[in-house]
Structure 1
Amino acid sequence: MKKYQTVAEKIKERIIAGQYKPQSLLPNQSELAKEFGVSKITIKNALDRLAHEGLVYKKSGMGTCVLGIAPMLGRHDSSVDSISGLTAQQGSEHVSSKVIKFDVAFPSEDICQKLNLKSNDPVYKIIRLRLLDNEPFILEHTYMPVGLVPNLSKDVLEHSIYSYIHHELGIRFGGAYRKIHAAKPDEYDLKYLGAAQDTPILEVEQILWTVNGSNIEYSRARNLYDARSYTVVEIND
């Protein structure tokens, strides 16, 4: 984890434990920076992350107020606009991956359109089962341009693709477009997620782009209807 993520997790643990009670103010950023031995920028990023999760509320001139754990928030839920990836969200000690398919091919017309590619630009075709604490959690169908993500390997796929992209390739994400909808189970869901023929599936379609504006990923992440939800926190500034 990055420093701000570590700090955010420690503050989150205190909120969950009741050390920081709902409606109370957190120590100011200078005090937190001194306690954790980090910069005020790191503290700001940590508090931004917690605000993004709906655990605290930052208001200019007021400080950072603890909201507590939202009663509707599940342990494995994710913010609808998070681009940190499953490993960063849940922790590498909890997440593992099983590679089901890993090929290089020329893209279909649909994938060309979604990734802004030419028909002779090769792409990776990846299917991975993401396991949480060794239990099937999410089934990912992913396409990435080979030209943008060179030297992708099975070893990388078994860990974190996003970590490889950020730390090995030095690529930063600019943002993502997502569509979330219900779907019927397919053959992969039946085999790898343990779905029955009538089990509803929640699917998140995503196009992810870099800070340079290049589309780097088109993916479909599928989970059983009751395994995970996606949340939105709205703040009235």
Structure 2
Amino acid sequence: MTEPLLRTKGTSLHRQMFLVLRERIATGRYPADSLLPTEEDLCKHFGVSRITVRRALDDLEAAGYLRRRQGLGTFVSSDLPAVREAATLNFVEALHKSAEETRVEVLSVEKGEPPSMIAQQLDLAAGDKAVHALRLRRIGDVPVMVSDAWVPERFAKSISAATLKKHAMYEILLNQGIEFGRVIQEVTAFAADPTFARWLDTEVGMPLLRLSRIVYDGARTPVQHLTLTINPEHSRIVVDMMADSMNTLHTGQLVHDVPLPAPAAKKRAPSRR
């Protein structure tokens, strides 16, 4: 079965092919040391030119996924990138691990009125202000996450650019005596605009994951609206749940933002006179 790539103004053909083959290697469809189809077969399968195939294979080889053997073909590397470890941390432990593993760049910290939707989720009245902190986190030189936080002014006494360079946001809130209670979060996807593409060092139009959280204290007062934007090439979202919670809202739910079709009009039975 052929799988023609999409010829659009978005992602280039060789990049599309790179992503497809990389996913198949990562999921074991092409296991370590296995022989890849020939360039001619890949051309036919994806409906692209040999130049496109070679560019995709060159990029995969440069990333460590493939190796070429003169006269034998192209093989999946035997030394693939390390498998990601499973997450076994609670909410606060996960925040601590993220802060420990990354270095932060504070992009901006300012006080102002949040957008209406965020203000509503934080139970803020019209005119109420919050501190808005925008940060970029890296592992080594790789940007992995953009953090966009809004904290109501009454909870943000110790939040500044200086403190955020030394401490994670959750540490500042905990040090103020705030105890975390409920956390509501949703995960969505969107295409990278030029700003996020620059921050996360990716291409415009590439899919990014956005995790939005509303964090409450023990009294169920919202203390933070946090949006984390990540590149799925480098990061993932892991959920750890108990079996007896699988059919509850603790595991989340799918919400489809698509209007339901109008109900079909019932046919009226012919009248008898």
TM-score, with structure 1 as normaliser = 0.61
1:164 alignment partner, SS class:
helix
2:138 matches 1:131: yes
Flag as ranges the 4+ runs of structure 1 deviating above 6 A.
none
Match for 1:127: what amino acid? Answer: L
Q: Any idea what the Cα deviations from partners look like across 1:123-144, whole Å, max 9, x if unmatched?
A: 1112100122342110011111
Q: Which residue of 1 aligns with 2:153?
A: 146
SS of structure 2 residue aligned to 1:147: helix
CA 88–97 in structure 1, closer or farther in 2 if over 3 Å, else same: same
- Which deviations, in whole Å up to 9, do the C-alpha atoms of 1:184-208 show, x marking residues without a partner? 1123311110120131101101111
Structure 2 Cα separation of the partners of residues 143 and 220 of structure 1: 9
In the other structure, the counterpart of 1:4 is none
Aligned position for 2:218: 211
Q: Does 1:98 align with 2:98?
A: no
Whether the aligned pair in 2 keeps the contact of 1:100 and 1:129 (CA below 8 Å) is yes
* Contact 1:107–1:120 (8 Å) recurs in 2: no
Q: Which residue of 2 aligns with 1:19?
A: none
Matched residue SS, 1:230: coil
Query: Aligned pairs, how many?
Result: 162
| RMSD, matched Cα | 2.4
Indicate the structure (1 or 2) with the bigger Cα radius of gyration: 2
> Is residue 88 of structure 1 aligned with residue 86 of structure 2?
no
- Does residue 119 of structure 1 match 2:129? no
Q: Contact 1:74–1:229 (CA<8 Å) still a contact in 2?
A: no
Q: One-letter code of the match for 1:74?
A: R
Tell me which residue corresponds to 1:74. 84
Displacement of 1:182 in angstroms is 1.3
Correspondent of 2:197 among 187, 190, 198: 190
Q: Could you tell me how far 1:91 is from its partner in structure 2?
A: 5.6
Map of 2:33 onto structure 1: none
Q: Could you list the per-position Cα deviations for residues 48-98 of structure 1 after superposition, in whole angstroms to 9, with x for gaps in the alignment?
A: xxxxxxxxxxxxxxxxxxxxxxxxx724x757x953276512462x32111
Distance 1:210 1:145 in 2: 13
Q: Kindly indicate whether the alpha-carbon contact (under 8 Å) linking 2:215 and 2:222 is maintained by their aligned counterparts in 1.
A: yes
Partner of 2:265: none
Q: Distance in 1 between matches of 2:228 and 2:87?
A: 13
Letter paired with 1:88: H
Q: Which residue of 2 aligns with 1:165?
A: 173
Q: 1:90 to 1:206 in 2, by over 3 A?
A: closer
Return closer, same or farther for 1:233/1:179 CA change in 2, 3 Å cut-off. Answer: same
In structure 1, distance between residues paired with 2:230 and 2:151: 21
1:156 aligns with 2:163: yes
The structure in which a higher percent of residues are strand is 1
Corresponding residue to 2:185 among 178, 182, 187: 178
User: Do 1:87 and 1:95's aligned partners in 2 also have CA atoms closer than 8 Å?
Assistant: no
Q: Contact (CA 8 Å) 1:199, 1:225: kept in 2 or not?
A: no
Q: Provide the C-alpha distance between the structure 2 equivalents of 1:236 and 1:107, rounded to a whole number of angstroms.
A: 38
Q: CA–CA distance in 1 between the matches of 2:227 and 2:164?
A: 16
Q: Unmatched 5+ residue regions in structure 2?
A: 1-82, 245-273
Q: Which has the higher contact order (CA 8 A, sep 6+)?
A: 1
Does the 8 A contact of 1:107 with 1:119 survive in 2? no
